[in-house]
Amino acid sequence: MKFLVTGGAGFIGSNVVDGLIEAGHEVVVVDNLITGKRGNVNPKARFYRVDITSPDLEEVFERERPDYVNHHAAQMNVRKSVDDPMYDAKVNVLGSVNLLELCRRYEVKKVIYASTGGAVYGEPLYLPVDEDHPVNPLSPYGVTKHTVEHYLYFYGANYGLRYTILRYPNIYGPRQDPHGEAGVVAIFTEKMLRNERPTIFGDGTQTRDYVYVGDVVTANLLAIDKGDGEIYNVGTGVETSVNELFKLLKEAVGVDLEPIYGERRLGEVYRIAITNDKIYRDFGWKPQTPLKEGLLKTIEYYRRRGSAIS
């Protein structure tokens, strides 16, 4: 089968590309390289430097005729979405509609969509959050990611386009960009490897649900044949505070540093953890990588990449 992966030069998308190729699929990658990196793209995949908002995207569909689309391309920075909601909406909503129109016209069999469980629900009424929790996003990013879920329902109900929605928590692991505004594990890790003090925005008691990227790849592979028309949280159901994450990384890297505390940022929830009961029931999926193990794998990646000062 032939897959088109949008955002396939990015952190999560490129790992998904690797998983698809290892599973024996043919893969085409579309990425504008604004945040993605050409070096992340598996050499066995065909690469097109195209923005999902561009009319040029149709040329890729015309040439490649993909069977499946795995949609990871997005403006995914919560703080940027607050500062520039127009840009966020252009990329995440209009770009996705452009993509879905092409999926309809070129008779794509199914779309697997990377949504967010960390941002769509807003400040949770209960924890861990399940798929039935009210959706009240606190950021334009959460609003736009959820909006595309409704467009998928529309295309499914009216045109028979199959889809599965995966709502991610905080994903971490190899290839996460330590120089962006998102990706606290990567940012903290690279700072510590340079013996620099990372900044925690807020008092550090805010919590997140951390899932290793390799486990997310497995969920994407299972979604090829399962979960049509459904939304799934892809979480651990466990809260980890930023202070606790800092401590775990500090111990794993082997440094004696204290964080710098800065002001809490707008648009971010205070606490979040999302369930995996539904995806376990339907897919048999649960995260297989404990946090400490995943952090060690991530640290090793950045050491090999040359981030260490030693």
Cα separation values, 73 from 16, 31, 39, 159, 283, Å:
12, 7, 17, 23, 24
- The two tokens of residue 206 are 């805010």
Assess whether 210 carries a catalytic annotation: no
113, 141, 163, 302: the catalytic one is 141
Phi first, then psi, for residue 232 (nearest 5°) are: -130, 130
Active site residues: 141
